[in-house]
Chains A and B, each alone.
Chain A
Amino acid sequence: MGIPEVDSREALFRLARLGEGERAVFLVRDRGLLLVSRYEGDRYKLAFVDIGVEVRADVCPGDPEEATTLVGIMEDVPWQGLALEYAMALAPANCENGVLRANPTVKFTVPPEWLMFDLVAVAHALMARGMDEYLEEVSRRLGTRLWVRKIVRV
């Protein structure tokens, strides 16, 4: 059975059903994001993988995800007065023959009541706003140029 395809709003409905310790993976088709989630009783751990973008670098760090993780905080997200701590990383990553191939991913952990917000839109907005800056910083960290390929479904 493949990964279920859902729209943004349905993804939230499915997250709302998760029991403690349960994990779920969805393809959010209207945003082009793979949503990996885990409910831990007092929080949701969420990762949104941009499957529409592939990043390549001619370098293979020992732990690519760790090496490319940058953390940030967005004030007034998802609502005025709140703040969202998030991380961006290249994950999942694949290193072969000294070449790193990975997708950009944004991750955040939120309390259960935050499911009232459109968290898929939040993840999408974080990517749309911060991706260029993030990739520039990763390039500087890795000490090499990055090749970014946009994957278009036809």
Chain B
Amino acid sequence: MTAPAKPAKAERLNKVFPVDLDKYLPELLKRNYGRWVDRRFHGYGIIEHVSETGERVFTVKVALPPNARLSADTAEKFADIADRHGIGAIRITMAGNIEFLADSLEAAQRIREEVEGMGFPVGGWGPTLWGINSCTAFLTCTTAVVDSPSITKALGDQLYEYFTGEKTLPAKLRIYVSGCPAMCAGGTGIDIAIVGQWGAPPKIREEILSLCLPPPKALARIPESQVFLVQVCPTGALTLRREGDKIRLLLVPEKCINCARCKENCDAFDYDPENVGVAILVGGKYSNTGVGRRLARVLVPWVPAVPPHYREITAIVRRIIDVWREHAREGERLADMIDRIGWGTFVDLVGVPVSSMHYDRLFAGTRWKDEAYPSLRDALR
């Protein structure tokens, strides 16, 4: 008697990952894989790679909207451009740009004209802004503090000329905006990092808090240390208070470090969406060039994040870039310049106030009013 035949796996289960590298490569790239011998730039948005076979490929780099969010309609238009003018290939880069591949400079120029006509800037190579990375923030994240894509948009609008190369920089510049300190879509190994932070402890919304607590009778019987919401607070800022036969959950602000762990576990904890800010870090990079790899250091521990234009943040970032442009040597990354001139000199040149009073003043009653912004920006000059 023979064993019954083993049923064939469904085709999808027979797939082996990762897919072979060359499986979906365009023929032009497959023919020249590993054989590239030279490259040259045509402006800051087109790079030409030359193969030892004599074949060439031209890549057009185009900035995408923050967090690389595209409508299906725009993605289809991009695919159509890649088919009509290019070799039918596009690539999304780690800096949040899209690259179109073409087999001639003329075709690359046509791609450039067409995407610029759609309103997308072309650039991002050489001594320019290579892109602004952003996490997804509120679109899909439950932890986000600030809307990093909208900060990215505000920065992109301010720094547009540095991407296209209309204004050049001493070296490449990369910026990352993170909605919270988790920084899951990037890190501090980058020239400028902007990281969202809560400004004050949350308030408890009593009317829905009971949904996060055991039923009242059970709550009365179990020890405080076993109540889930008490457990999730790492610093013990959440405590139960018995008032007669009622039990209340209290938040002790002095013990709260704004880690948002309570909010992660229960929707009854509301942070003030107006009292949020960011830390600004500078001088990180993953490149081995210059002083080598290093993580960025905090330059500004906290500055208000005020939508829609985030003027305080963009003012500081522009100031950092201005100082870098003025004092860097050609080809010197921000980290290398800071290393050469010294941190203290750099901080003095940027002119960040030693006191936080300019920021605090915003929260003392005049916050969010336009007239408060100029004084902060003046303080940074």
B229 within 8 A of A: no
Point out the residue from B182, B302, B357 that lies within 8 Å of A12, measured CB to CB: B302
Q: Does A71 contact B (CB under 8 A)?
A: no
Contacts of A92 in B (CB 8 A): none
Q: Given A113-B188, A116-B281, A125-B235, A13–B355 Cβ distance below 8 Å?
A: yes
B279 at the interface (CB under 8 A from A): yes
Are B257 and A17 touching (Cβ within 8 A)?
no
- Any A CB within 8 A of the CB of B47: no
A116 lies within 8 A of B279 (CB) = yes
B297–A79 CB distance below 8 A: no
Is the Cβ of B255 less than 8 Å from the Cβ of A129? yes
- Which residues of A sit under 8 angstroms from B258, Cβ to Cβ? 118, 121
Once the chains bind, are A10 and B261 in contact (CB under 8 Å)? Answer: no
| Interface core residue of B234, B236, B279 (most chain A CB under 10 Å) | B234
Whole-angstrom CA separation of A14 from B298 in the bound complex: 11
Taking the complex as formed, is A145 at the interface, i.e. its CB lies under 8 A from any CB of chain B?
no
Does B206 belong to the interface (CB within 8 Å)? no
- Contact between chains at A74 and B298 (CB < 8 Å): no
Give bound CA distance, A28 to B354, whole Å: 15
A60-78 at interface with B (beta carbon < 8 Å): 74-78
Interchain CB contact under 8 A, B256 and A121: yes
Chain A residues whose C-beta falls within 8 Å of the C-beta of B302 in the assembled complex: 9, 12
A122 cross-chain contacts in B, Cβ below 8 A: 235, 257
Q: Contact check: which of B188, B236, B352 meets A128 at CB < 8 Å?
A: B236
Q: A9-B301, A79-B181, A79-B259 are in contact. Are A115 and B295 (CB under 8 A)?
A: no
Question: Are A80 and B182 in contact, CB atoms less than 8 angstroms apart?
Answer: yes
Q: Give the Cβ gap from B325 to chain A, nearest Cβ, in Å.
A: 22
A121–B182 alpha-carbon span in the complex (Å): 19
B257 touches A118 (CB 8 A): yes
Known A-B contacts A7-B356, A9-B302, A13-B354; A77 and B259 likewise in contact (beta carbons under 8 Å): yes
Query: Are A76 and B354 also in contact (CB < 8 A) when A113-B295, A128-B236 are?
Result: no
Map CB proximity to B onto A98-122 as digits: 1 under 8 Å, 0 otherwise.
Answer: 0000000000000111011110011
The interface size bin for chain B is 35 or more
Closest Cβ of chain A to B323, distance in Å, is 15
B299 at the interface (CB under 8 A from A): yes
Does A10 lie within 8 Å of B234, measured CB to CB? no
Q: Does B38 contact A (CB under 8 A)?
A: no
Bound together, the chains give a CA A7 to CA B364 distance in angstroms of 15
Q: Are B234 and A13 in contact (CB under 8 A)?
A: no
**Which residues on the B side are within 8 Å of A125 (C-beta)?**
235-237, 254-257
Chain B residue contacts of A16, Cβ below 8 A: 297-301, 347, 352
Cα distance, A48 to B86, chains bound together (Å): 62
Which B residues are closer than 8 A to A by beta carbons?
143, 180-182, 188, 195, 197, 234-237, 252, 254-261, 264, 279, 281, 295-302, 342-344, 347, 352-357, 359-360
Closest 7 CB pairs of A and B: A116-B279, A115-B298, A12-B301, A125-B235, A76-B234, A129-B236, A9-B356
**23 pairs, CB–CB < 8 Å, chain A vs chain B:** A7-B356, A13-B356, A16-B297, A16-B299, A20-B343, A75-B234, A77-B257, A77-B259, A78-B259, A79-B181, A80-B264, A112-B297, A113-B296, A116-B195, A116-B197, A121-B256, A121-B257, A121-B258, A124-B254, A125-B254, A125-B255, A125-B257, A128-B254
Known contacts A9-B302, A14-B354, A78-B257; 15 additional CB pairs below 8 A are: A12-B298, A12-B301, A16-B300, A16-B301, A74-B235, A111-B295, A113-B281, A115-B297, A115-B298, A115-B301, A117-B197, A121-B256, A121-B257, A124-B255, A128-B252
